[in-house]
Amino acid sequence: MNAEPAVGLKALHTKRGWLALGAAALVFVVLVPVLSLGFPASSPLHLPDYLIALLGKFLCYSIVALAIDLIWGFTGILSLGHGVFFALGGYAMGMYLMLSIGAQGVYKSALPDFMVFLDWKELPWFWKGFDNLSVALVAALVVPGLLAFAFGYFAFRSRIRGVYFSIITQALTYALMLLFFRNETGFGGNNGLTDFKSLYGYDLHQPSTKVALYVMSAVALLLTYLLCRYIVTSNAGRVLRAIRDAESRAMFVGFNPTNYKLFAWTLSAVLCGLAGALYVPQVGIINPSEMQPANSIEMGIWVAVGGRATLFGAILGAFLVNGMRSFFTAAMPNAWLYILGALFIAVTLFFPDGVAGALGRLKRKT
Amino acid sequence: MPPDPESTTEAPESGPIPAVEPAADAPTPKPTDKSGKRWSMRPRLIDPERRKQVVGGKSAILCVDNVSVSFDGFKAITDLTLILERGELRCLIGPNGAGKTTLMDIITGKTKPDSGTVFMPHDARDLTQLKEYEIAELGICRKFQRPTVFAGHTVYENMELALQGNKGVWNSLFFRLSADQKKNIEQILEQIGLHEHAATRAGQLAHGQKQWLEIGMLLAQNPKVLLVDEPIAGMTHQETERTAELLKSLAGERTVVVVEHDMEFVRSIAQKVTVLHEGKVLAEGSIDAVQANPRVIEVYLGEKRT
């Protein structure tokens, strides 16, 4: 029996795995844009714009799902507050988009509309620099990362774990939501940031811009997947799983669990920030409701439904649950929350390892 | 200190060890100044003169010097001194509550003693001031009674995790086994008899095999001192024999300390036996000398035969 680990690209995937990944990448990065831009709206092959927007959203959600899988599926730490990191990334991008509206706003002022409305005379200090896209992008990654690092440092050092940790993350997202709801906080309060016109000079309402953002999301998802895959197949990934399964043993083998948890947790938050930054220009709005505790719980459900600790299950779950949400909120809007709850219960009872786990078992049987 | 952090939160002012419900007749806990000393005042380094004095002329690898610890007024260990020589195979025996496990806890940093030091003669650091993983890095490894291998990982992956030198996150991300390390893993797997099971998930191994794997993982860290807690508990006769062979083959290159109840097993492996009783060393010597010692007989065969 050969138990020696494979090295290099082979360590990430088998040949079949790479082929499947390549095929998926081809569909999402090449085929979808071609179908959207390459055919006139009258052609039956044309992909409608709303579908591009929908898929773009799902891709961003999938990045979040991967981030949650890394910290929950592989490290065993259930976060019910990842919405906060997603929203912070979104706000950083939103601030840039807000400032690039310039004087085209309702009040024809260089200041964002809500500031004029609040009778502010100049930009608050924390808005300075956000007229630069690279500053905004860096902030979209660094701000969630720093918040997660500080939060995780104290939580993990105090050995807070399990359900206690999950509850604190709920409190975190709730507290920040309340903070962002206030007008005085300086992020547009209740309404958040919206009415975006352009990104780096490109009109956000142009189909080509939308497709470009969609492609960026797809590429970002692909890279995120490869990064996560690399981590979980490395020794670090083994340590994360070891911490999940037997933390004290990992400690006695000489690994300091706090550092590993902090690493996975912070990286997870940074990835959520990236997803948020890609999400906001595609949906055209960011407001504090993204930080609702229920939102973060739903993110956990994506991963639970798709299957924990498989990575591809997380993506599957994000697409599946959000696809169902899009369908049911249109078909029977009042039933959606019940369906979501029933789905979660059904998965917990019948597929504890999610759709990916069920597929895996099916494959082994045949 | 009891390892449970919750019980330390409401420490009474009267003593260093919190008592949730102190019994009326329990001895008064030690005064606070002592616990203050434990954390802040005690030197992290041990004076070379003292080290020389404790070690004597022996080629010692690990010294436990005058260690005492009590829990809620119960003296688990009192002024215990133990010197382990390089390459020996030592058995620690004693009745329940004699302090064997507490002694292991102190050496590995799980329990902090009230007084006394633990040190390696070539090193001035006081081990009682170090964290558990720092002590593990110094080459003192412990095998627990219950096998706690990583059940979800294969035997080989378990070994790989154990073998990684620098345990930092960054290093883990880019860790690759070198040819030497691969050879090392092969060798250890051969030694512990799990060569054929390299790709088996550790959770699926038999009880005895898990114990061996855990010993193998400790070996991968190339320990100087190996502490083994009741290795044969729950093993079949055959597994017990193989374990005895394995432990004997390890001594010489490393120092092995075995805590065990089973006297037959102790007899089959031991070079030197230390008998603990009520937190003190009762006797020390060859198995025959110890078994003939009247005080040991008294402790083992009956409390007070008058």
**Complete DSSP assignment for A304-322:** HHH-TT-SHHHHHHHHHHH
- For residue B175, give the nearest of A234, A254, A263 by CB distance: A234
pLDDT of residue B218: 87
Nearest residue in chain B measured CA to CA from A241: B152
* A4/B182 CB distance under 8 A: yes
pLDDT of residue A319: 97
| Chain A residues touching B217 at Cβ < 8 A | 253
Q: Where are the beta strands (DSSP E) in chain B?
A: 60-71, 74-85, 89-93, 115-119, 140-143, 225-229, 255-259, 272-277, 280-285
Q: Is B150 on the interface with A (CB under 8 A)?
A: yes
pLDDT tens digits for range A140-166: 999 999 999 999 999 999 999 899 999
pLDDT at B302 over 70: no
pLDDT at B306 over 90: no
Share of chain A above pLDDT 90, in %: 74
Q: Tokens for B2?
A: 């009891």
pLDDT at A326 over 50: yes
pLDDT at B21 over 60: no
Mutate to test the interface with A, among B6, B133, B146, B190 (most CBs of A within 10 A): B133
As to burial, measured by CB atoms within 10 angstroms (0-12 exposed, 13-18 middle, 19+ buried), residue B241 is middle
pLDDT at B13 over 80: no
Fill in the DSSP letter of residue B21: S
- Cα B256 to Cα B226: distance, rounded to the nearest angstrom: 5
pLDDT tens digits for range B159-176: 998 888 788 999 899 988
B174, HSE (Cβ side, Cα atoms, 13 Å) = 2
**With bands split at pLDDT 50, 70 and 90, how would you rate the model's confidence at B14?**
very low
Q: Is B129 on the interface with A (CB under 8 A)?
A: no
Q: What is the DSSP string of A268-335?
A: HHHHHHHHHHHHHHHHSEE-GGGG-HHHHHHHHHHHHHH-TT-SHHHHHHHHHHHHHHHHHHHH-GGG
Mean pLDDT of B114-138: 87
Q: Where are the beta strands (DSSP E) in chain A?
A: 193-194, 198-199, 202-203, 285-286
Which residue type sits at B123? D
* B172/A254 CB distance under 8 A: no
- For residue B148, give the nearest of A3, A236, A246 by CB distance: A246
3-state secondary structure A10-38: HHHCCHHHHHHHHHHHHHHHHHHHHHHHC
Fill in the DSSP letter of residue B86: T
Which residue type sits at A127? W
pLDDT of residue A126: 94
Long-range contacts, stretch A32-41, CB < 8 angstroms, 24+ apart = A32/A214, A32/A218, A33/A211, A33/A214, A33/A215, A36/A207, A36/A211, A37/A207, A37/A208, A37/A211
Distance (Å) from the alpha carbon of A69 to chain B's nearest alpha carbon: 17
pLDDT tens digits for range B62-92: 999 999 999 988 889 999 999 999 999 999 9
Q: Is B52 on the interface with A (CB under 8 A)?
A: no
| Most distant CA pair in chain B, distance | 67
Nearest residue in chain A measured CA to CA from B172: A236
Mean pLDDT of A34-60: 90
| Chain B residues touching A249 at Cβ < 8 A | 148-150
**With bands split at pLDDT 50, 70 and 90, how would you rate the model's confidence at B27?**
very low
B163 closest CA partner among B85, B220, B212, B242 = B220
Which residue has tokens 């004693």?
Answer: B94
* A5/B157 CB distance under 8 A: yes
User: How many CB atoms are located within 10 Å of the residue B216 CB?
Assistant: 25
Mutate to test the interface with B, among A238, A260, A261 (most CBs of B within 10 A): A238
Q: Are B215 and B228 in contact (CB under 8 A)?
A: yes
Q: Tokens for B3?
A: 């390892």
Mean pLDDT of A258-270: 97
Q: Which residue has the higher pLDDT, A69 or A11?
A: A69
pLDDT tens digits for range A337-357: 899 999 989 988 988 889 998
* A242/B221 CB distance under 8 A: no
Q: Is B3 on the interface with A (CB under 8 A)?
A: no
Mutate to test the interface with B, among A252, A255, A259 (most CBs of B within 10 A): A252
**With bands split at pLDDT 50, 70 and 90, how would you rate the model's confidence at A5?**
low
pLDDT of residue B7: 41
pLDDT tens digits for range A50-104: 899 999 999 999 999 999 999 999 999 999 999 999 999 999 999 999 999 988 8
Size (chain B), residues: 306
pLDDT tens digits for range A169-196: 999 999 999 999 999 999 999 999 999 9
* Torsion angle of C-alpha atoms A271, A15, A303, A280, degrees rounded to 10: 40
Mean pLDDT of B40-44: 58
